[in-house]
């Protein structure tokens, strides 16, 4: 089987649903920015060289519907010969899109492709515009339809993840992200046009500004402040807005190529995907997914946990992230994830609690973040993983190209 390489991986900032910079910006425009940025950052390649664009989206409807993979190819002025598709595996949709393009290249069916993800949680609400659970099945087993927040409470209650543990984890996510933003470590971010409306002389005027930072990061976060937040999903619960991922808007895209194409265009790739897998778990505790997907991935690729130099494990909720780290034997090693440790290898620049979780975009977004840090640190192996609504986990192993 042939080799496939990641050449360029970029993302927009993640901006808060409704209140953030992208609240008035359509998802296609977010996606167009990162797709176009691939060609600004990658010399020698033109849009005519790309055969296919696959985009992950958790709720592919309304403004982000109508096969946004093909729509964006046309919006970005690719030739008609460049095809497009949309894929949905909820929270890992963006990673699924990248993995599918890599598999197509490995199989010899494609030479150059783009995988990515997009989600505007402002424009298309959680659950979509017209959710229709199956009535009879919902009576028999409603778990696949329940709130993700309730699944986070289930994990906390079943596995004794305390409120104090969750708040501490959320605090460190914010501190890591605050440090990274201050030091401009998010080199994968593409400054993105954001529309807003301002009133001037009684008339509402549309303006466009460039957004170049994740606007959910809160440098002033304190443990004392987090302790004061009310439970978000259960009256006596422990899951709050401060220890949960932020619902955000964003897009990300990754350029992948065969070895022949890399040589043809004279490019130096960043990494290659060594393996990708998914694992099924109970729907009512979907957050435990990475605890099963990561060991399955390591077995699949013949690697040990000690081989991995950096992890991006999506923080859908602190409760599930902590549980997964516990099962991997990593949580108790506080120096591996805490913001005040220079030995940290887990979500080194903050996770979704600080940076946001734009559902179908997240898998592609984490890939871009991981590529930046692997390259900056010279880390040979990196793992990306996330839990998935409905009861799954996904994990991918990347190897830095020397």
Q: Which residues are catalytic?
A: 91, 357, 387
**Tokens linked to 85:** 């598709």
* Main-chain phi, psi angles of 391, to 5 degrees: 105, 65
* Main-chain phi, psi angles of 373, to 5 degrees: -75, -35
C-alpha dihedral, 247 to 65 to 146 to 97, nearest 10°: -80
* Main-chain phi, psi angles of 200, to 5 degrees: -135, 115
Three-state DSSP at 19 gives coil
Question: Using alpha carbons only, how large is the chain's radius of gyration in Å?
Answer: 20
What is the C-alpha to C-alpha distance for residues 375 and 373, in angstroms, rounded to an integer?
5
**296 touches 128 (CB < 8 A):** no
Give the DSSP letter of residue 199: E
β-partners of residue 64 are none
CA distances from 356 to 129, 296, 362 (A): 21, 26, 9
User: For the packed helices 318-328 and 148-158, what is the interaxial angle rounded to 10 degrees?
Assistant: 50
What is the C-alpha to C-alpha distance for residues 261 and 93, in angstroms, rounded to an integer?
26
Contacts for 130 with CB less than 8 Å, ≥ 6 apart: none
């Amino acid at each position: 089987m042939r080799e496939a390489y990641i050449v360029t991986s970029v993302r927009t900032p993640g901006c808060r649903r409704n209140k953030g910079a992208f609240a008035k910006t359509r998802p296609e425009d977010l996606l167009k920015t990162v797709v176009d940025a691939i060609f600004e950052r990658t010399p020698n390649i033109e849009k005519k060289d790309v055969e296919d664009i696959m985009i992950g989206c958790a709720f592919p409807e309304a403004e982000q519907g109508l096969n946004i993979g093909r729509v964006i190819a046309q919006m970005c002025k690719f030739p008609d010969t460049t095809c497009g598709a949309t894929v949905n595996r909820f929270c890992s949709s963006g990673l699924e899109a990248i993995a599918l393009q890599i598999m197509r290249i490995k199989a010899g069916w494609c030479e150059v492709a783009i995988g990515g993800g997009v989600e505007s949680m402002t424009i298309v609400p959680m659950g979509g515009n017209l959710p229709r659970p199956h009535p009879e099945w919902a009576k028999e087993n409603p778990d696949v339809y329940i709130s993700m927040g309730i699944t986070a409470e289930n994990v906390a209650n079943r596995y004794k993840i305390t409120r104090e543990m969750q708040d501490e984890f959320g605090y460190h996510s914010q501190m890591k992200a605050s440090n990274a933003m201050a030091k401009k470590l998010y080199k994968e971010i593409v400054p993105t046009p954001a529309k807003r409306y301002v009133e001037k002389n009684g008339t509402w005027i549309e303006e466009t500004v460039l957004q170049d930072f994740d606007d959910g990061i809160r440098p002033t976060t304190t443990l004392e402040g987090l302790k004061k937040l009310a439970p978000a999903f259960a009256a006596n619960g422990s899951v709050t807005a401060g220890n949960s991922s932020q619902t955000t808007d964003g897009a990300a895209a990754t350029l992948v190529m065969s070895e022949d194409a890399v040589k043809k265009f004279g490019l130096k790739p960043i990494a290659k995907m060594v393996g990708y897998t998914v694992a099924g778990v109970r729907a009512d505790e979907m957050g435990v997914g990475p605890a099963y997907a990561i060991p399955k991935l390591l077995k699949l690729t013949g690697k040990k946990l000690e081989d991995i130099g950096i992890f991006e494990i999506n923080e859908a909720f602190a409760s599930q992230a902590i549980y997964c780290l516990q099962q991997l034997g990593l949580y108790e090693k506080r120096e591996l994830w805490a913001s005040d440790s220079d030995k940290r290898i887990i979500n080194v620049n903050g996770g979704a609690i600080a940076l946001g979780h734009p559902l179908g975009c997240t898998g592609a977004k984490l890939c871009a973040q991981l590529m930046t840090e692997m390259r900056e640190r010279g880390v040979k192996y990196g793992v990306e993983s996330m839990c998935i609504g409905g009861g799954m986990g996904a994990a991918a192993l990347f190897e830095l190209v020397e």
